[in-house]
């Protein structure tokens, strides 16, 4: 648990730098851009995310699992080289097809021009794809500080460029995306250096075929995840307008802060899990305990975001966003099930049962599309939030039941449910009876510290004891 918390803190800095600083830009957008402009930016971000899947076919995702199958250094270098060359080939083909289908793509994104907006979204996705391999490599090799350098440097540079553009009067979606692309270009030499040092630029057809067989079944799962998490913006735009998309995107983004911290935990936990699970005699009891500790940590982070969200909106944003602040707790607690799915999916990846995961994900995506259509049509952005929660709950129930057939990762539901209900009730009471603002925020922060101590006091005491022991040893 101690190493997990340590690496989580390091990965968290990088992840928060890359996505957290981007989140903070939302508050700047609310002051410099209209909700409609924010809606366009968010729609482009959604497009960019799904486009990444097609540019790589999920090849980079194979590193988390297949990297450990290659024990020899040269075999690993050949594996990495094959992945990088494969991504470049696939990206070239997909981009060419995109230009041929530009009219159809424009029709799917009403209000967003192909030139220059969708082109910029494509560029953003392309640079994301070709620079992701060195970042994942540093994760699987347990080099969080190198990962931190790439993500932190790029995030700071990108935010700086965006701020300069907005300050100089370039206040548009094109300017925002252009600033982000500039940060990718500036840091590309560092990414390229990391690749050259760890890769043999050799294309092995057999390795590529094996990797593609592993990654391709993940593509429907990744697309399904996109549908569940982001397709609601398209339905809101279809039934209402980009202004509603902008309002929903901002409050959703606040609820999504959970993902910034939880992703850091998962980034740290994934390589630890696969390393432990692939030992000749894995310690299943230790794995189970770490799994449940991880779930509690995820729940606690969801609670924090939900608990203080309306105070944050009251202090930082305008009244129009405060009116829809009640959506944030729905999104935040809904994201708990998303993170539970991410953890439970490790059973499928460890057993290489990706096909089963694919079918479950596709079923969940279809369910979400149906729920989005009817709930958003009749209940607007409230329906969008509830659609995500309901879908993820159904998704998790199926994932958990089937995952136990492959690699057993059991969850202590009695403890988890007790904490979940208690935290949700606490959020509801404060939202209903305590006015948002500085006073409410101060009181809530005190409560958060107390709950954290009660949940993790053993781990905290253990870390303090180890720190004192190391200090005594170094003093000698």
**Domain locations in the chain as residue ranges:** 14-215, 217-464
Residues in CB range of 152: below 8 A, 6 or more apart: 13, 14, 17, 18
Gap between the Cα atoms of 189 and 203, Å rounded: 22
Q: What is the pLDDT of residue 468?
A: 59
Residues in CB range of 430: below 8 A, 6 or more apart: 307, 440, 444
Q: What is the pLDDT of residue 81?
A: 87
Q: What is the pLDDT of residue 474?
A: 52
Instruction: Phi first, then psi: give them for residue 408, nearest 5 degrees.
Output: -75, 115
What pTM, to 2 d.p., does this model score? 0.67
Q: What is the pLDDT of residue 261?
A: 72
Gap between the Cα atoms of 223 and 333, Å rounded: 22
Q: What is the pLDDT of residue 135?
A: 81
Q: Output the CA–CA distances (angstroms, integers) from residue 319 to 27, 329, 404, in the order listed.
A: 13, 18, 47
Q: What is the pLDDT of residue 447?
A: 92
Q: What is the pLDDT of residue 17?
A: 62
Q: Is the dihedral of CA 33, 37, 39, 45 positive or negative?
A: negative
| Residue whose C-alpha is closest to residue 70's, from 141, 151, 169, 163 | 141
In eight-state DSSP terms, residue 116 is I
Q: Inter-axis angle of helices 173-198 and 35-56, to 10 degrees?
A: 30
Residues 34-44: tens digit of each pLDDT: 777 888 888 88
What's the alpha-carbon Rg for the chain, to the nearest Å?
A: 22
Ranges of H-type helices in 33-115: 35-56, 63-66, 73-100, 102-108
Cβ atoms of 293 and 1 within 8 Å: the answer is yes
Q: What is the pLDDT of residue 134?
A: 84
Cis peptide bond N-terminal to 116, omega within 30: yes
Place of tokens 């305008």: 318
Gap between the Cα atoms of 428 and 251, Å rounded: 17
3-state helix, strand, coil in the chain (%, to 5): 85, 0, 15
Q: What is the pLDDT of residue 442?
A: 92
Q: Give DSSP secondary structure letters for 16-48.
A: IIIIIHHHHHHHHHHHHS-HHHHHHHHHHHHHH
Q: What is the pLDDT of residue 441?
A: 92
Q: What is the pLDDT of residue 92?
A: 92
Place of tokens 């003093």: 475
**Positions in the chain short of pLDDT 70:** 1-20, 22, 221, 226, 229, 264, 267-268, 458-476
């Amino acid at each position: 648990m101690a190493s997990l918390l340590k690496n989580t803190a390091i990965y968290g800095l990088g992840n928060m730098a890359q996505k957290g600083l981007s989140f903070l830009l939302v508050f700047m957008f609310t002051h410099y851009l209209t909700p409609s402009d924010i809606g366009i930016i968010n729609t482009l971000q959604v497009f960019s995310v799904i486009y990444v899947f097609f540019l790589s076919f999920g090849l980079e995702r194979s590193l988390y699992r297949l990297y450990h199958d290659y024990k020899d250094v040269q075999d690993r270098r050949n594996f990495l080289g094959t992945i990088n060359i494969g991504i470049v080939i696939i990206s070239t083909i997909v981009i060419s097809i995109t230009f041929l289908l530009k009219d159809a793509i424009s029709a799917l994104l009403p209000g967003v021009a192909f030139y220059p907006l969708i082109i910029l979204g494509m560029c953003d996705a392309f640079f994301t794809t070709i620079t992701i391999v060195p970042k994942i490599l540093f994760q699987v090799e347990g080099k969080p500080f190198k990962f931190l350098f790439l993500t932190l440097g790029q995030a700071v540079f990108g935010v700086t460029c965006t701020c300069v553009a907005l300050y100089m009067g370039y206040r548009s979606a094109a300017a925002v995306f252009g600033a982000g692309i500039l940060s990718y270009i500036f840091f590309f030499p560092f990414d390229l250096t990391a690749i050259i040092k760890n890769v043999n630029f050799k294309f092995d057809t057999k390795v590529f075929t094996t990797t593609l067989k592993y990654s391709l079944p993940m593509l429907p799962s990744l697309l399904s995840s996109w549908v569940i998490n982001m397709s609601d913006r398209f339905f809101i735009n279809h039934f209402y307008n980009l202004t509603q998309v902008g309002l929903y995107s901002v409050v959703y983004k606040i609820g999504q802060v959970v993902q910034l911290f939880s992703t850091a935990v998962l980034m740290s936990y994934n390589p630890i899990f696969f390393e432990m699970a692939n030992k000749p005699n894995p310690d299943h009891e230790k794995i189970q305990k770490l799994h449940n500790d991880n779930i509690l940590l995820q729940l606690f982070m969801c609670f924090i975001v939900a608990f203080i969200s309306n105070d944050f909106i009251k202090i930082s944003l305008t009244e129009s966003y405060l009116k829809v602040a009640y959506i944030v707790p729905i999104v935040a607690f809904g994201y708990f099930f998303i993170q539970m799915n991410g953890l439970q999916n490790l059973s499928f990846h460890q057993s290489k049962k990706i096909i089963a995961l694919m079918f479950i994900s596709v079923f969940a995506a279809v369910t979400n599309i149906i729920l989005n259509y009817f709930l958003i049509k009749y209940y607007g952005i409230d329906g969008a939030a509830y659609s995500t929660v309901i879908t993820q709950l159904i998704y998790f129930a199926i994932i958990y039941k089937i995952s136990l057939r492959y690699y057993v990762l059991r969850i202590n539901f009695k403890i988890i449910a007790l904490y979940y209900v208690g935290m949700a009730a606490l959020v509801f009471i404060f939202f209903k009876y305590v006015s948002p603002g500085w006073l409410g925020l101060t009181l809530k922060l005190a409560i958060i510290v107390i709950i954290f101590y009660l949940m993790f006091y053993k781990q905290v005491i253990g870390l303090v004891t180890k720190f004192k022991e190391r200090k005594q040893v170094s003093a000698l």
